[in-house]
A = this chain, B = another copy of it.
Amino acid sequence: MDIRTLCLGILSLGDTTGYDIKKMVAEGAFSFFSEASYGSIYPALTKLTDEGLIDCRTETQESRPDKKIYSLTQAGRKALEASLTHAPKPDRNRSEFLAALLFAEAVSPERIEDLIAERIDHHHAQIGMLETLLAKESGKAARFVLQYGIVMQEAAKRFLEENRTDLGA
């Protein structure tokens, strides 16, 4: 999902600032399935404002840059709706892990066990993070997304634990 749509989507859930959008994608319920840097968020918000898809009101602060609080306009809501209406392009299964595994067989087979062990730890950590997020989250769709994430990570972890020996020998 491009940053523009991501910003529109987050604003559909409530008014907020660029700084807080970054926090949501870095730590919040969004961090599981999206990412974005300031360098993409701020310009996106500026552009969306110019196009009339979002509004910006400024909250003056002392000894800090003024806070810019954005909110979705009617046009923005329409635009978001439109981009959700035509089917999202299929998710890619790009995986550094699987690629590394496949190539390690030919070039450094002794690395395979490590790779799998690291990956199991990674899934374990992700499950922990998702459960923490789930405990804090009350939105229906957000909980669904986090549960989906947990199920996926657990399935992956289980598969690796059950089949790790197949590639060792």
A contact set with B: CB distance below 8 Å: 1, 5-6, 8-9, 12-13, 29-30, 32-35, 77, 80-81, 84-85, 87-108, 111-112, 115, 118, 122, 139-142, 144-145, 147-149, 151-152, 155-156, 159-160, 163, 166-167
Contacts and interface: CB of A to CB of B under 8 A. Distances in A.
B145 A32 contact: no
Nearest to A77: B107
Contact of A33 (B9, B93, B144, B166): B93
B9 A103 contact: yes
A144 B118 contact: no
16 contacts: A5-B99, A8-B103, A30-B99, A33-B95, A35-B94, A77-B107, A84-B103, A88-B97, A90-B96, A91-B94, A93-B152, A112-B141, A140-B166, A141-B167, A147-B159, A151-B156
